[in-house]
Structure 1
Amino acid sequence: MLNFLISPAERYDLIVDFSQMPMGTNITLTNYHAPVHYPGMPGMGPVISEIMQFRVTKRLSGGADRTTPPKKLKLPEPAPIEPKPHTRRREWVTYQHKLFGTMTFNAVPFMEPSQEFIEAGSTEIWEYINPNHDAHPMHVHLVNFQVLNRQPMDAAAYQADYEKWLDGGRKPDDRPVLANYLTGPPIPPDPDEARSDKDTFKSYPETVTRIFIQEFSPPTDTIASIPGSGTEFPATYVHHCHILEHEDDDLMRPWTIVRHGDRGVGDHNAGHGHGH
């Protein structure tokens, strides 16, 4: 039996050999033990256990199997991760309001204007700080990235100090410093993440997850048959949790790509360091 953990919006390429299965065999893909956040309304109902069923009803066409055995496949290797000491970092805090229970990035509603301005072609590390008790599948539009590492953190202490910082008016110099709350060394990516580019990753609870975005490069060329199809700067995209109820709850924020040398209005951290 093959087991793997997959979150909403993640995709896996799996090769399954049904040729040795007797005709008429039914093979069911099941949710073995992963909990379902909202199995019914209002949050009550059975766990979704059966995902998909394969029915073996036809024999192999064309005689012998000429496909490459999985163990002999040579998959393309992603570009090596090479962060530099000055690589720009941005912090994204999965903040759950202490009274209302709403979720946001950095305690900012989705409809607020973009506050993060990124130069086209730049490389960055985004740090997703998750002091919650739930994991979140985070999806970043436009770009591919690699999971750099994860680190455990004192989530309760960070959450308490972050709320004090919010209540105190978000003074930049008083913002909690993530390094002061880390409780262990960096943990390498999961095996299924280590050799692949991603556009969705799992932000585990009480953990900071770092992703390495090699290059922000939206397509700028116009397709001849589609006038205006090239990207126009500034170009705004979003990232969000891919649990629908969390996304609807505002765990979603825009970010904006600008031309090299441009600075977005309101970007008070255009240089190196941590974004707000």
Structure 2
Amino acid sequence: LGITRLNLYAGLKGFYIIRDDAEGSLNLPKGNFEIPLMIHDAMFNPDGSLLYPTAEGGTHPAWIPEFFGDTMLVNGKVWPYLEVEPRKYRFRILNACNARFLRLTLMESDESGNSKGSPGPPFNQIGTDGGLLAHPVRLNTLTMPNTSRADVVIDFSGLMGKAFVLLNDAPAPFPDGDDYVIPNVMLFRVNRPLSGPDRSSLPSDLVPLSILDPGSAVRVRQLTLTEIDRESDGFPVIALLDQKRWHDPVTEDPKLGSVEVWELINTTEDAHSIHLHVVQFQILNRQPFDVDAYLSSGTLTFTGPPVPPAPNEAPPSGHDIVNTLPGSVNRIVARFDLPAGTPVHSGQRFGFVWHCHISEHEDNEMMRPYEIVVA
């Protein structure tokens, strides 16, 4: 707690890519046509060094609610461009911002990146945090909570001589904040001649996946997301999961191999990117509720029906990050397994964590230990 936000901001972040035989059989774009894109925001001092703002007056310097920079970087470069061939490319996108969510679109532009107002090629999403999807999902807009990953194919075929700007219009904080929005992320210029025939493909079927039945859950846990504000001005001073601090005793202790539904009750005004270590979960739905009534009585009064997840979130796709919207009960289902080959014995308890991945939140108590228990 306390320093992760600074380590990440200073540059301790990046990719490691895991492949398997199933992926290798799909004939996706590869080699020079598979490119990682790590997107994050920053601020700079006049001498070019990184600037991380101190807390507002009277607040402990370990805490600012969120960091939102004024400059966007991709792979460590400010406002970069990429020259591409008129063919399919695979992009592995990481939202590496401390706190900023992204809502990305491609728009046709001039060579300087000024949008012409017409949409560019779509994102064909083929994977998430949990690996490949069962089928590609075609999207014109790609929403990414911070630290989430998206594996996409973009087809620039037939677009020689054109340029496309990658834009972000996500409010900060998400989804209704009014902090600084950085629209321009990077520029694609389709100006390189084909180096050879494009023999890659975008299969209609990717990998077989199974839907995890929430009806098989042995337990439904209701867990709150809370921010406590300073009375004088409403400035947030601490963020909590289920009203508990990091050092409080473990309360989430699923049995090894069991299925549980977690209902993440977001009582705050902003979205949180909630991350569970070691397991992949499936997103079930989000349901709006009366926050004031819940805070006063502890009773959930729903104000609308459950909203199914977006197509690129929906089961059977696996995730380790969920965008928990404000004023919503955000439901996920998980099987609490361990990595294959882990030696176990009766009564053993394996410790992990779950937390908000907004760095400033997890550094100020919005992180809890949990244990997978061997029966």
Task: Give the TM-score category using the shorter length.
Answer: 0.7 to 0.9
Report the RMSD for the aligned CA atoms in angstroms. Answer: 2.6
**Counterpart selection for 1:187 from 307, 313, 322:** 307
Instruction: Call closer, same or farther: CA 1:13–1:108 in 2, change over 3 Å.
Output: same
Residue 333 of structure 2 is matched in structure 1 by 212
Q: 2:228 aligns with which of 63, 88, 97?
A: 97
| Runs (5+) with no aligned partner, structure 1 | 162-175, 223-229, 261-276
The residue correspondences of 1:79-228 to structure 2 (distance < 5 A) are 79-84=210-215, 87-99=218-230, 101=236, 102-161=238-297, 176-178=298-300, 181-195=301-315, 196-213=317-334, 215-219=335-339, 221=341
Deviations 1:218-264 (A, max 9, x none): 12626xxxxxxx6784111111112112222221111101102xxxx
Aligned with residue 66 of structure 1, among 196, 199, 210: 199
Which residues of 2 match residues 257-276 of structure 1 at below 5 A?
A: 257-260=372-375
* Inter-CA distance 219–86: structure 2 relative to 1 (3 Å threshold): closer
Greater RCO structure (CA 8 Å; 6+ sep): 1
1:13-46 per-position Cα deviation (integer Å, ceiling 9, x unaligned): 21111232325x5433221x211339xxxx9974
Per-residue displacement from partner, 1:87-112 (whole Å, max 9, x unpaired)?
Answer: 31111100122546321001111232
Shift of 1:113: 3.1
Label 1:198 to 1:44 Cα distance change in 2 as closer, same or farther (>3 A). Answer: closer
Q: Is the 8 A contact 1:137 1:241 kept in 2?
A: yes
Secondary structure of the residue that 1:116 maps to in structure 2? coil
Question: Relative to structure 1, is the Cα distance of residues 118 and 86 closer, same or farther in structure 2, using a 3 angstrom cutoff?
Answer: closer
C-alpha separation in 2, matches of 1:45 and 1:209: 25
The residue type equivalent to 1:245 in the other structure is E
Structure 1 counterpart of 2:187: 53
Structure 1 Cα separation of the partners of residues 223 and 144 of structure 2? 22
Task: Indicate whether 1:243 and 2:358 are aligned.
Answer: yes
Q: Distance in 2 between matches of 1:46 and 1:125?
A: 36
Contact 2:344 2:374 in 1 (8 A): no
The verdict on how the C-alpha distance between 1:103 and 1:45 changes in structure 2, with shifts beyond 3 A counting, is: closer
CA distance in 2, matches of 1:216, 1:27: 42
Quick check: which one's strand share is greater? Answer: 2
Structure 1: distance between partners of 2:274 and 2:252: 17
**What SS does structure 2 have at the residue aligned with 1:246?**
helix
One of 243, 253, 256 as aligned partner of 2:371: 256
- Contact 1:147–1:212 (8 Å) recurs in 2: yes
Find the aligned partners of 2:206 and 2:179 in 1 and give their Cα distance. Answer: 41
Aligned to 1:10: 148
User: What is the alpha-carbon distance in structure 2 between the residues aligned to residue 95 and residue 253 of structure 1?
Assistant: 13
Query: One-letter code of the match for 1:217?
Result: D
Deviation of 1:134 (Å): 0.8
Alpha-carbon distance between aligned partners in 1 of 2:280 and 2:217, rounded to the nearest angstrom: 21
Deviation track 1:174-211 (CA, whole Å, cap 9, x = no partner) reads: xx243xx2222222112221141111111111010100
Question: What is the Cα deviation at residue 61 of structure 1?
Answer: 2.5
Instruction: Tell me, yes or no, if the aligned pair for 1:96 and 1:104 is still in contact at 8 Å.
Output: yes
Aligned residue for 2:351, secondary structure, equals strand
Work out the CA distance in 1 between the residues paired with 2:349 and 2:216.
27
* CA–CA separation in structure 2 for the residues paired with 1:85 and 1:14: 32
Structure 2, unaligned runs of 5 or more: 1-118, 120-139
Change in CA separation of 1:221 and 1:210 when aligned onto 2, cut-off 3 Å: same
Stretch deviating more after TM superposition (90-99 or 141-150): 90-99
Question: Identity of aligned pairs, percent?
Answer: 37
Secondary structure at 1:159 match in 2: helix
Q: Helix, strand or coil: the match of 1:210?
A: strand
SS at structure 2 position matched to 1:79:
coil
Aligned length: 227
Q: State the secondary structure of the residue aligned to 1:13.
A: strand
